[in-house]
Structure 1
Amino acid sequence: MVPLSFAPFEFAGHEWLMGPARALFWPAERALLVADLHLEKASWFARTGQMLPPYDSRETLGRIDALARATNAARVLCLGDNFHDAQGPARLDAVAADLLADLAHRLDWVWITGNHDEKDGAAPGTMLPEVALRGIVLRHEARPGEPAPELSGHFHPRLRVPARGRTVTRPCAVMSERKLILPAFGALTGGLDAAHPALIAALQPAQTITALVPTAARVAHFPLWRAQAA
């Protein structure tokens, strides 16, 4: 059963469910969509002398496992930058490696390659440059001018909202009429302001661009940009 904290919204003629865990669920495909896991980022930093707790992959994969069970997902689609570097799969500790192997065995697990990923990865699952489902293209980085509806990641969007005299920052999705960019799902991922010019450019062509932030009851829409009338 889908958790009550998931709320619906419409994109490209389909219903999607979004929750605070920074993932999307696509009921029509029984698919969980996540972007920018950056698995083994902590161990990558450790090689340069920057010591971080080495449990980011366990935490990220554990959240995917919980969401897949809660939504009864049959498929997981990872939208690129899956590992932080090409040697990431070899650095997974035994707990994380076993969890990933179990997930890939239970589910149709698809890795879409991103700019951090090798084209022939060593992780279990299927690796593809992009996927087309029900007329929607899934890829890592939005392609300006793409005529088909498109889902992607790459930018790690975050929304800054003034609240009670301070600024609150939340991961968000960013949507135009034909493009939807997911927030980063990984445990150790920063973010880019949702209104940054690079994000606005990536979502073109567009009439309106909106940030989507899940709340306990609904997906809140925050206008970011509107095309000027000719």
Structure 2
Amino acid sequence: MNGLNFTFREIQLTALESGALWWPEQSVLSVSDLHLGKSERFARLGRGTLPPYETQDTLTRLARDLEHTQVTTVICLGDSFDDTQAAQSIGEDNALWIAKLQAGRQWYWIEGNHDPGPVELGGSHVAELFLDGLTFRHIAKPDSSGEVSGHYHPKARIRMRGRTLTRPAFLMDEVRIIQPAYGTYTGGLRSEDAPLCDLMSPLAQAILVGPTPCLVPMPR
């Protein structure tokens, strides 16, 4: 499994190819915007039919990251489910799978704008989490420092060998990291769009994820 090591506020972190953030010193894996149950919600609301395998695919990749990193703490940065009913309709097999992933680990579900209600799948449900100098929350706060968040599903596009490459991306500057969406059925906001440009400093960088994560100045 490939990853790119970087330093944020004197903390050594790794951006994994999957979009997960690994903090080896604290044995922490942070993932954002799983959006489990999105296909079920689309069908329920009559918004079209998506292939019903996104939950299994997302959990498969998460299981692979946990096997690779062997972390003892998992932080899900909000919008872990596409809405509260999607969490309640996740199905016995997937609920059991999540319970197995949680076994022997401290597991935090951070509140998101899609899933503000209680999550009845084990773990701790919190508005935000402060851990050894970093604050983990769903949506970035402009006046924060040492913050890790999600919500925006950032993507970055660059020109490479005469073609345009677009990938989910971590965005980071002197005070914050915004993680890409981890879920299988998730769109994204381009790094040059106003909400992200307004949040990130002129010195911000992007880590494009995928088989070979790469670090570039944040495209604007």
Same fold per superposition (TM over 0.5): yes
Q: Do the aligned partners of residues 184 and 218 (structure 1) sit closer, same or farther apart at CA in structure 2, a change above 3 Å counting?
A: closer
Gaps of 5+ in 1: 226-230
CA gap 1:46/1:141 in 2 versus in 1, 3 angstroms: same
Deviations 1:16-70 (A, max 9, x none): 1112111110011111110000110000001133111112111111211110111
> Structure 1 vs Structure 2: percent identity of aligned residues?
35
Matching of residue 8 in structure 1 with residue 5 in structure 2: yes
2:101 counterpart of 1:107: no
Letter in 2 for 1:110: Y
Name 1:209's counterpart in structure 2: 204
Residue 130 of structure 2 corresponds to residue 126 of structure 1: no
Between 1:35-44 and 1:17-26, the stretch displaced more is 17-26
- Structure-1 residue corresponding to 2:149: 152
Q: Counterpart amino acid of 2:64?
A: A
- AA paired with 2:110? I
Q: Which amino acid in structure 2 is aligned with residue 125 of structure 1? A: G
| Residues in 1 aligned to 2:4 and 2:186: alpha-carbon distance in whole angstroms | 24
1:52-131 equivalences in 2 (<5 Å): 52-131=50-129
RMSD: 1.7
Moved more, 149-158 or 7-16: 7-16
For residues 83 and 63 of structure 1, the distance between their equivalents in structure 2, rounded to whole angstroms, comes to 16
In 1, Cα distance between equivalents of 2:212 and 2:82: 34
Indicate if the aligned counterparts of 2:109 and 2:124 stay in contact, CA closer than 8 A.
Answer: yes
Tell me the equivalent position of 1:163: 160
TM-score, normalised with respect to structure 1: 0.89
Aligned residues: 219
